[in-house]
């Protein structure tokens, strides 16, 4: 099979290549998926740039990694202990490359059976492929501190992938959603996703717009605590929770006394170490939302497998929407 591969950390064009590798066989509890689309996340950039020799594993005659965690495809083989009737199911895949080298940037991948979730009829490969880490992260941020029903939730970067699904899954869960964006094109995407209030965080009166339009917020789903701490503190209600799911190069200097004064809760969320039961619950509830027609895709930008380096660079350059590799 053809697969993207790297065996040393570095820039996309320097380290990513396409190899012919032996097709993997599913082990006990696993399924093999013929990949249709492989979605790319910022975390894939981090792994490519920061992998150490200890992170690489044997793949046939090579030692390294096939990138990407998310995708869609069709199950074509199952391992011991998996119902053979799963063969032929169209599925969306989450956390494919966690703990082993078989990511989704290949014609085939193998994953634990529960990480290949049946796609409801009528759901496109594009929508299914782009769920994975963004939608699962959004679900955890929304639910880690209890149901968000009847709560006001501020979603930073509502036109980003996590922000997009936080808006949509928040609406499904009964929350009132406020979101911040940086311009009119992103505001249009956030409104289409169902945000009740959209504010440009660059406006000098952004905090006042939020307070006037929604009042103090109960929860904040944050992508850049360094940059947004002042805005978050200005709009957080007493006892609010700030959930941050991304890290910046510099550690934030936290205004501890102001956090204490409002009895705020600061939670750090990492999808890869989320409790297993929460992951499985998220996968089930995301799939239920798909069946209800409550989830929509962001703009999708398709690249061939041979253009994997260009796809990574597009993500690094802040492409609006999702980059995917088309392996159909």
- Give the closest residue to 63 by CA, choosing from 75, 55, 71: 55
Distance of CA 306 to CAs 17, 24, 90, Å?
Answer: 8, 20, 24
pLDDT computed for residue 255 by the predictor: 87
The answer to whether residues 16 and 308 touch, using CB atoms and an 8 Å cutoff, is yes
Asked, colleague to colleague, whether 2-130+297-326 and 133-273 share their fold, the answer is yes
Residues 75-121 have pLDDT tens digits of 999 999 999 999 999 999 999 998 889 999 999 999 999 999 999 99
Supply the angle between the helices 276-291 and 132-143 in degrees, to the nearest 10: 110
Topology of 133-273 in CATH? Quinone Oxidoreductase; Chain A, domain 1 (3.90.180)
The answer to whether residues 83 and 108 touch, using CB atoms and an 8 Å cutoff, is no
Count of Cβ atoms closer than 10 Å to residue 248 Cβ? 12
**pLDDT in 10s for each residue of the chain, 328 residues:** 999 999 999 999 999 999 999 999 999 999 999 999 999 999 999 999 998 888 899 998 999 999 999 999 999 999 999 999 999 999 999 999 988 899 999 999 999 999 999 999 999 999 999 999 999 999 999 999 999 999 999 999 999 999 999 999 999 999 999 999 999 999 999 999 999 999 999 999 999 999 999 999 999 999 999 899 999 999 999 999 999 999 877 777 888 899 899 999 999 999 889 999 999 999 999 999 999 999 999 999 999 999 999 999 999 999 999 999 999 9
Angle at the Cα of 91 (from 88 to 92), degrees rounded to 5?
165
pLDDT computed for residue 271 by the predictor: 86
Q: Report the CATH architecture of 2-130+297-326.
A: Alpha-Beta Complex (3.90)
SS3 199: strand
Residue 202 CB partners (closer than 8 Å, separation 6+): 182
Tokens of 152: 């006001």
The answer to whether residues 170 and 145 touch, using CB atoms and an 8 Å cutoff, is no
For the chain, which residues make up each domain, given as ranges?
A: 2-130+297-326, 133-273
């Amino acid at each position: 099979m053809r697969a993207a591969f790297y065996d040393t950390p570095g820039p996309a064009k320097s380290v990513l290549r396409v190899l012919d590798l032996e097709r993997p066989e599913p082990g006990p509890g696993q399924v093999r998926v013929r990949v249709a689309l492989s979605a790319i996340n910022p975390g894939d950039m981090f792994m490519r740039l920061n992998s150490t020799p200890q992170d690489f594993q044997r793949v046939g005659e090579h030692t390294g990694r096939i990138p990407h965690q998310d995708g869609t495809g069709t199950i074509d083989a199952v391992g011991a202990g998996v119902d053979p009737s799963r063969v032929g199911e169209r599925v969306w895949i989450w956390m494919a490359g966690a703990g082993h080298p078989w990511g989704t940037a290949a014609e085939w991948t193998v994953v634990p059976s529960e990480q290949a979730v049946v796609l409801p009829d009528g759901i496109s490969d594009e929508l299914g492929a782009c769920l994975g880490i963004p939608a699962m992260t959004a679900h955890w941020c929304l639910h880690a501190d209890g149901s968000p029903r009847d709560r006001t939730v501020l979603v930073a970067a509502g036109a980003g992938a996590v922000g997009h699904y936080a808006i949509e899954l928040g609406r499904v869960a009964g929350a009132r959603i406020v979101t911040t964006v940086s311009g009119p094109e992103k505001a249009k995407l956030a409104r289409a996703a169902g945000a009740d209030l959209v504010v440009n965080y660059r406006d000098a009166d952004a905090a006042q717009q939020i307070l006037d339009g929604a009042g103090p917020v109960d929860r904040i789903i944050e992508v850049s605590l360094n940059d947004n701490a002042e805005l978050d503190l200005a709009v957080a209600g007493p006892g609010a929770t700030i959930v941050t799911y991304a890290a910046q190069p510099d550690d934030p200097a936290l205004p501890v006394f102001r956090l204490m004064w409002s009895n705020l809760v600061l939670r750090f969320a990492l999808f890869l170490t989320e409790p297993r039961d929460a992951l499985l619950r998220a996968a089930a509830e995301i799939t239920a939302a798909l069946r209800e027609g409550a989830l929509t895709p962001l703009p999708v930008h398709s690249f061939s497998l041979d253009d994997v380096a260009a796809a990574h660079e597009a993500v690094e350059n802040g492409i609006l929407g999702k980059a995917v590799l088309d392996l159909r």
